[in-house]
């Protein structure tokens, strides 16, 4: 049964042609068995046969060329009225073409013409061939005309309803397809944003911790013979810094592992403002003199703001060690405002090359400053980075406490 249904759907014209032959056969049986004329006029069997053949053609080609077949049906109906050819079996094709044109998503004039022709067909037929006997009342004639008009009206209503339903489902499919594309686009944007966030995190973790380890390793190698105790302390700092880096990288890599169950103990909390003091102590232990001050009343902040503040200070101090030169000193200021958190990180070193902070590191090497600007932008803040008057480098940021919509 399913194969038959699929075949019918694949060959609509073939199915219509089959029913056209059925209609033609029934019409020819009527022509052969019924009188070929009427009181108002006579029609030869040849004329009825020609009309039957043309109406069968209308049924066969109704879906391939509905507008043309509608015009042919109108012409055949007018010919029947003009030459006195009585309505017979072939006129059923009028109902078929009215339904087809109403259901077809074509020009609206064709649908209107089909409706007008269908509503007037019974009236014109009654005027051309009144009820036999001539004694029927006008009410009876009107009732008969209305009854004969109903099939034509129903054919048009069914066809138009099918067209409206198909258009509605097509609209739903288009909307679903558009929503699916929008979801895919949003998913791609979310994936890109998450990858950028993880890249920033990895950069901050690797750049800061590896920088500390390199400085401590160089210092340990320098004093290995002259001061073994200092070298031992440097190695301990390298060890603790390495463990911290591994813990943070394990947390970031755990985010990337989809479908794997990770124990809660394998992750570490996100850094916050309270850990900035520990960060400063770690940097001091690596040999960089840092002055740290907090102004205002400390209070809990949104997690995004806390992480952003920590990473900005971390990246700024890392850049100081990398570009400040020997005997460089730095200062870190945290200022709590009523509506935001201010950060000021300065050093008195040589400063970074100008191309690394212009346009956010346009030379491709200033990834840390690019990450800073992206982080600050995500929380709706502002960032200013550049050389400090009198020498050195300054990074100033203002992070608002209101969420960004």
Question: Phi, psi (5° rounding) for residue 231?
Answer: -65, -40
Q: Which of 8-22, 127-141, 232-246 has the highest mean pLDDT?
A: 8-22
Q: Is residue 363 part of a domain?
A: yes
Tokens standing for 77? 């109906």
pLDDT at 249 over 80: no
The pLDDT confidence band at residue 132, using thresholds 50, 70 and 90, is low
pLDDT at 404 over 80: no
pLDDT at 261 over 70: no
pTM for the whole thing? 0.51
Specify the residue for token string 């100033």: 396
d(CA 276, CA 335): 13
Instruction: Give me the chain's average pLDDT, please.
Output: 81
d(CA 369, CA 198): 15
- For residue 257, how many other CB atoms are within 10 A of its CB? 9
* Residue where one domain finishes, among candidates 107, 129, 151: 129
The residue among 345, 342, 319, 320 whose CA lies nearest residue 332 is: 345
Q: Is residue 368 part of a domain?
A: yes
* Residue where one domain finishes, among candidates 114, 129, 144: 129
| E-only strand ranges, 91-210 | none
* Mean pLDDT, residues 187-195 taken together: 75
> 3-state DSSP call for residue 352?
coil
The pLDDT confidence band at residue 100, using thresholds 50, 70 and 90, is very high
pLDDT of residue 259: 42
pLDDT of residue 401: 80
Q: Quote the number of domains for the chain.
A: 2
Q: Is residue 325 part of a domain?
A: yes
C-alpha angle 263/267/271, rounded to 5°? 160
| Model confidence pLDDT, tens digit, residues 153-167 | 999 999 999 999 999
d(CA 19, CA 158): 20
Q: Which domain covers residue 34, as residue numbers?
A: 2-129
> Out of 157-171, 195-209, 375-389, 390-404, which region has the weakest mean confidence (pLDDT)?
195-209
Strands 289-295 vs 329-336: parallel, antiparallel or unpaired: parallel
pLDDT of residue 222: 72
Q: Is residue 205 part of a domain?
A: no
Q: Is residue 145 part of a domain?
A: no
Q: Is residue 116 part of a domain?
A: yes
Q: How far is CA 15 from CA 6, 18, 98, 252, in A?
A: 12, 5, 18, 64
Contact between 374 and 200 under an 8 Å Cβ cutoff? The reply is yes
Q: Is residue 167 part of a domain?
A: no
Specify the residue for token string 């056209």: 20
Specify the residue for token string 């920088």: 211
Q: Is residue 147 part of a domain?
A: no
Residues 6+ apart with CB under 8 A from 346: 330, 331, 388, 392, 393, 394, 395
Strands 382-387 vs 340-347: parallel, antiparallel or unpaired: unpaired
* Residue where one domain finishes, among candidates 103, 129, 155: 129
CATH of the domain at 355: 3.30.565.10
């Amino acid at each position: 049964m399913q194969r038959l249904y699929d075949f019918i759907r694949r060959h609509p014209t073939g199915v219509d042609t089959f029913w056209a032959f059925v209609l033609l056969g029934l019409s020819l049986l009527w022509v052969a068995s019924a009188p070929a004329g009427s009181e108002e006029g006579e029609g030869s069997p040849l004329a009825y046969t020609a009309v039957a053949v043309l109406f069968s053609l209308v049924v066969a080609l109704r879906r391939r060329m509905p507008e043309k077949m509608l015009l042919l049906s109108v012409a055949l109906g007018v010919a029947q009225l003009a030459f006195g050819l009585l309505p017979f079996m072939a006129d059923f094709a009028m109902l078929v073409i009215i339904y087809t044109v109403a259901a077809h998503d074509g020009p609206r004039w064709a649908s209107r013409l089909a409706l007008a022709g269908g509503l007037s067909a019974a009236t014109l037929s009654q005027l051309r061939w009144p009820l036999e006997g001539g004694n029927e009342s006008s009410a009876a004639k009107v009732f008969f005309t209305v009854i004969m008009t109903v099939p034509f009206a129903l054919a048009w209503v069914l066809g138009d309803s099918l067209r409206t339903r198909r258009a509605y489902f097509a609209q739903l499919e288009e909307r679903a397809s558009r929503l699916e594309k929008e979801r895919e686009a949003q998913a791609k944007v979310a994936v890109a944003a998450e990858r950028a966030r993880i890249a920033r995190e990895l950069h901050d973790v690797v750049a800061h911790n590896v920088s500390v380890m390199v400085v401590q390793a160089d210092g340990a190698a320098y004093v290995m013979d002259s001061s073994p105790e200092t070298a031992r302390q440097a190695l301990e700092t390298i060890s603790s810094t390495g463990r911290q880096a591994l813990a943070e990288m394990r947390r970031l890599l755990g985010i990337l592992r989809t479908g794997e169950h990770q124990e809660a103990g394998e992750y570490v909390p996100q850094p916050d403002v309270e850990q900035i003091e520990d960060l400063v102590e770690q940097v001091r232990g690596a040999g960089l003199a840092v002055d740290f001050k907090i102004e205002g009343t400390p209070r809990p902040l949104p997690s995004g703001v806390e992480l952003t503040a920590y990473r900005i200070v971390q990246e700024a101090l890392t850049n100081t060690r990398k570009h400040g030169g020997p005997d460089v000193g730095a200062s870190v200021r945290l200022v709590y405002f009523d509506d935001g958190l201010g950060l000021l990180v300065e050093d008195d070193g040589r400063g970074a090359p100008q191309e690394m902070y212009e346009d956010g590191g346009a030379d491709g090497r200033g990834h840390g400053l690019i990450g800073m600007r992206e982080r600050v932008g995500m929380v709706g803040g502002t960032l200013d980075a550049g050389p400090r008057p009198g020498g050195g480098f300054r990074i100033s940021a203002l992070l608002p406490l209101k969420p960004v919509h």
